[in-house]
Amino acid sequence: MGVVSILTHSFTDGYNREFARVFGGGLERYILDLCSVIHEMGHIPEVHQLSYFEAFQTRTGQIDVFGYPYDMNDVPEAFTRMAEAARGPIIYASCIWQPIAYKPGSLGICHGINWDRPALPLETKQQVAEHIQQAVDGLLNIVSVDSHFQTYCRASCTFSDPAQLILIPNAVDTAYFTPAPPRRQMQHEQEAQWLSQWKEDLEHHEDRLHQIVISSTSDATSPDLDRDHNTDEDVSENKLKQKHQVQNKENEESEEQPEGLAVANKLNEQDASSRPVRILYPRRVSLERGIIPMMLAADQLLGAFPDLEIEFAGELVEGSTVGRSFRYWHRTHPHADRIFHHTYDFRDIREAYHHADIAVIPTIFSEGTSYACLEAMSCGLPVVASNVGGLNDLIQDGFNGLLVPPNQEALTAALVRLVQDRAERERLGIYARETALAYDLSRWKHKWSEVLRTFLANVDMKEGVR
């Protein structure tokens, strides 16, 4: 039994000085799952990470965690100290865009390109390209969570072995992240029959759905949504038209639906009509995750739709500029009673998906194959996502979600379209769930086990044996 050391910039909460708590982000979730695979293979994982405060040592679950204070302008030096203290073969799990002096025979992970900001100076991007070449030259393999890093390396770096870059997309536990009741109250046979019937109906009703989408988009993008220009009567009239369109379509379909499908739709209809429409932002409250365009979109949406709620479900770094701005915006908002902010544990976030009707992933840069996007899709939610990073690997626009440019205008229009059209939400959600099945966690674990088995066979485990 040997130790495997993971070096990263974040795992337990070094941002808010809660060192014993795993921070609720995608990177941290990834490391937690990777440690689980290492354990299952009979080895002992340990994590070395940066700390915004003092050095620390803690233990979470079965994982020893070591924190290192560092100079913001010299991250590579901190990684050198971590590598010197590591007790086993090393996996560099972040910061490969930095000029790190890698320990020979180590493995690397790229969690998504984070230098994809259009306004980032060309000089900086050229430096990043040099640092990535350094990673390619210094690491045995680099595991990428999306196809975009592979493409970047093939275009910007030189290397002889195409198998050096390994694509293992992020994953989701599809047995846990399941669609919410009432759909889950159905028997498996009824659910399969329901899904089959939906697919058959899609082609037959394509023209009608297309007309509804065009109508919704026209209503969403043509009028100015500013509250000073739209009256409550205008909004109510538009919503009433949409409700009648959707209801007429459902009435026509119900005449030819099997009994199980009719029961499911009736349950869904009762559930949808008993509560407001809820949009979920299941991301960290941070700049790169699109919190600013989401707040601007929320201003317009909440003013236009009196029965709409928006939940922000993600970590917030207290005292940061973005964190303070969000707190002030929420506290002083005229519709604050319909804005919610909760921080969920990894095991509890499913509750947020089950109470939502739409999920939004408005990343503006630095995105791999988003855990939040996969979880929302696995729960059968329609997703509005920006066409950034690995989100392009997950969402096929108009099939299993809506893909938009990373700006507030496109984001708002897409959300209006789904708020107004429940039939479209349901159709996208069905195919979102089917897509998520291809990213099941069991496949991810199997692929990582193969990578680790080869990696550990090629390094000396004796130094990590206890």
30 pLDDT above the threshold of 90: yes
pLDDT in tens, 198-254: 555 545 544 544 444 344 434 433 333 333 333 333 434 444 344 444 444 444 444
Residue range 369-384, pLDDT digits in tens: 999 999 999 999 999 9
Q: Read off the pLDDT of residues 70-109 as tens digits, 9 standing for 90 and up.
A: 998 899 999 999 999 999 999 999 999 999 999 999 999 9
Average of per-residue pLDDT values in the chain: 84
Quote the pLDDT of residue 1.
73
Q: Is the pLDDT of residue 280 over 70?
A: yes
Look at residue 282 and tell me whether its pLDDT is greater than 80. yes
Residue 33 φ/ψ, nearest 5 degrees: -70, -40
| Residue of 112 and 267 predicted with greater confidence | 112
Contacts 24+ apart (CB under 8 A), 38-44: 38/4, 38/452, 40/445, 40/449, 41/449, 41/452, 41/453, 42/1, 43/1, 43/2, 43/3, 43/4, 43/88, 43/456, 43/464, 44/1, 44/2, 44/3, 44/4, 44/88, 44/464, 44/466
Instruction: Collect contacts of 77-80 with beta carbons under 8 A, ≥24 apart.
Output: 78/50, 79/7
Is residue 361 predicted with pLDDT exceeding 90? Answer: yes
Q: What average pLDDT does range 297-305 have in this prediction? A: 97
- The pLDDT score that the predictor gives to residue 61 is 86
Q: Which residue has the higher pLDDT, 90 or 119?
A: 90
Q: Does the pLDDT of residue 432 top 90, yes or no?
A: yes
What are the structure tokens assigned to 7, written together?
């070096």
Tell me the pLDDT band of 20, cut-offs 50, 70 and 90: confident
pLDDT at 257: 39
pLDDT of residue 316: 85
Residue 162, preceding bond cis, omega within 30 degrees?
A: no
| Contact in structure between 36 and 43 (CB atoms under 8 Å) | no
pLDDT score of 17 more than 70: yes
pTM of the model: 0.77
Cβ neighbour number for residue 102 with a 10 Å cutoff: 22
SS3 251: helix
Nearest to 453 by CA among 229, 129, 141, 223: 141
Q: For residue 422, count other CB atoms closer than 10 A to its CB.
A: 21
